[in-house]
Structure 1
Amino acid sequence: MTTQQPEKYFLLSSAIYAERKPTIVQTVLGSCVAVCLFDKVKDFGGINHYMMPVWKGEGLASPKYGNIAIEKLLKRMLNLGAKKENLIAKIFGGASQYGENTNFSIAKNNIQVAKDVLQEHKIPIIASNVGGEKGRRILFNTNTGEVLLKYVVKH
């Protein structure tokens, strides 16, 4: 019996990835936040990468905004067969890379919108690595829910 090697996928900002096939999804986060959802019964997951906290009704309701990105990811997961009661979440990012006083509210609000929307849907956050001043590179295994994280250090 051979095990299928996961595909690799690079997730750009303002994007969502959710498929039933095993995939290692990589993304790089600064003040942006990524929410990883995983169905612990069906063993598959999805991830988003958003730049801004909340869409306020002007312009396009894009996954560039946290509230839209999380809702779209959740809808995609449910369409692929996930059950909301089996979902768990992990959140990453939200760094204030240039010190706590710059891009101050965007990073903090990006983190808060993830917590608020997930709580609204009663999806438990089982792991998070958010805030601080360092960017992050993450690898999310959609087949196992595992996330590998490496801090991005400026040279």
Structure 2
Amino acid sequence: MDELPVHFLYPAAMWIEKQPHRVHTILGSCVAVCLYDSVLKIGGINHYMLPYWNGQGLASPKYGNIAIEKLVEKMLFFGCKKENLRAKVFGGGEVIETTFNQFQIGERNVKVAQEMLREHGITIAGSSLSGKLGRKLEFNTQTGEVRMKFIEKQIFNPIKPK
């Protein structure tokens, strides 16, 4: 796995190339959907921040419904068939304790992935979802393997000048 080129996937982005890569990303309440075609040995991944685009502004992969649709479209463009696609889904943790937790962004991000993949007829072959911890992923686009580590919460203690 070490000989493959590495790509870091930022939030609101997706990655799919025919050349195999190791794609890294870090998730909190965001969700990453990894799609893999075992026949063509092609994988793609997205990293979205919010569940649904509201129709205002740019329809970007920042939103789950756009990110998943675009990833499926790109996989099909590369010659993949839906019946050969398997998904692995990660993230959706409520990692920041704020008043925004009432919006349950992580849980809503998870739900949009599960619903859209079901609508597309794509099986979820593996997942690590929700909870209170973040995740660090490494996705091998050639094999479909995903390595995941939980990220422990860090307490920020600023150093105050004397």
- Which one of the candidate residues 39, 42, 51 is aligned to 1:41? 39
Alpha carbons of structure 1 residues 4 and 133: separation in structure 2 relative to 1, 3 Å: closer
Deviation at 1:44, TM superposition (A): 1.1
TM-score (norm 2): 0.90
Deviation at 1:102, TM superposition (A): 4.7
What is the number of residues matched between the two proteins?
153
- Which one of the candidate residues 63, 80, 96 is aligned to 2:61? 63
**For the residues of structure 2 that align with 1:117 and 1:8, how far apart are their CA atoms?**
28
In the alignment, residue 11 of structure 1 is paired with which amino acid?
L
In the alignment, residue 109 of structure 1 is paired with which amino acid?
R
In the alignment, residue 76 of structure 1 is paired with which amino acid?
K
Indicate the residue corresponding to 2:146 in structure 1: 147
Unaligned runs of 5+ in 2: 155-162
Greater alpha carbon shift after TM alignment, 140-149 vs 104-113: 104-113
- Aligned 1:52-91 pairs, distance under 5 A: 52-91=50-89
Contact persistence 1:45–1:145 (CA under 8 A)? yes
TM-score (norm 1): 0.94
Alpha carbons of structure 1 residues 4 and 13: separation in structure 2 relative to 1, 3 Å: closer
**For the residues of structure 2 that align with 1:102 and 1:121, how far apart are their CA atoms?**
31
Contact persistence 1:96–1:102 (CA under 8 A)? no
- Rg larger in 1 or in 2? 2
In the alignment, residue 114 of structure 2 is paired with which amino acid?
K
Deviation at 1:68, TM superposition (A): 0.1
**For the residues of structure 2 that align with 1:107 and 1:4, how far apart are their CA atoms?**
31
- Aligned 1:76-155 pairs, distance under 5 A: 76-98=74-96, 102-104=100-102, 105-155=104-154
**For the residues of structure 2 that align with 1:98 and 1:4, how far apart are their CA atoms?**
33
Using the aligned pairs only, state the percent identity: 52
**For the residues of structure 2 that align with 1:100 and 1:132, how far apart are their CA atoms?**
15
Deviation at 1:98, TM superposition (A): 3.0
